[in-house]
Amino acid sequence: MERLQKVIASCGVCSRRKAEELIQEGKVKVDGKIITEMGFKVSLKNNIEVDGIKIQQQDKEYYILNKPRGVVSTARDDKGRKTVIDLIDTDKRIYPVGRLDYDTTGLLLLTNDGKFANDLMHPKNEIDKVYVAKVKGIAKAEHVIPMQNGMVIDGIKIAKAKVKVKKTDFKTNTSIVEVIIHEGHNHQVKKMFEAVGLEVLKLKRERIAFLTLKGLTSGKYRKLNAKEIKQLYDFVNHKK
């Protein structure tokens, strides 16, 4: 027997966090009864419905996508915008592991493996997420040090980041800055720069753990191979 939200996630419906939201909203039924209790335990022998659709175990799939601008990192969008799911040819109910903003580009993982997604997103596992930002202004020590020391953004204490100025251009008054974080708060990297007085003009995620965008142009994707999947699981388990 497993917790209801874990079973929903393991069946590829959504992430565990989203499953908890659906349970709280009364959108999950077990054997015909609406369940709103977080600790409720079930097995796949139970009849579990999410939004009226019966869930079932499915083969796991794992993708790496080079997300382009103008695409939202959700499974569905109520505004009718193109989603990252629209870019991938699969009949499985996959969803993104975390999010990239509408105008942020770069590496995004997608899967129907809820445990995998939850482990990768959890800050305690300290999975590197590497971003490269083009910012307006000349990045100096006075900007970098606060981000390296940890900040408070929207009342939340943000962990220390690794920050490196890669290039400055005095003619255009811009800088290229690399930022490595482990968390994934809403608009975190942009807000970090905003807090130190630098405006983000472009933002791209170039790496998660050991995975890069090598060989993937904007909008293209591929499946992770068995070796990469095992490496990610080994990496996460080593961090625990």
Q: Is 128 a catalytic residue?
A: no
Distances (CA, A) of 144 to 114, 150, 187: 35, 10, 18
Main-chain phi, psi angles of 234, to 5 degrees: -65, -40
Sequence-distant (≥ 6) Cβ neighbours of residue 56 within 8 angstroms: 11, 44
Q: What is the Cα–Cα distance from 37 to 4, expressed in whole angstroms?
A: 9
Beta strands in the chain (DSSP E): 2-3, 28-30, 33-34, 41-42, 48-50, 53-54, 62-67, 95-96, 105-111, 129-136, 151-153, 156-158, 162-169, 174-181, 199-208, 211-212, 221-223
Exactly one of 78, 91, 101, 169 is catalytic; which is it? 101
**Sequential DSSP letters for 9-41:** HHTTSS-HHHHHHHHHTT-EEETTEE---TT-E
Residue with tokens 């659709």, as numbered in its chain: 53
- Burial call 119-131: b when 16+ CB within 10 Å, e when fewer: bbbbeebebebbb
Taking a C-beta distance cutoff of 8 angstroms, is the pair 95, 85 a contact? yes
CA distance 198 to 195: 8
Catalytic (active-site) positions: 101
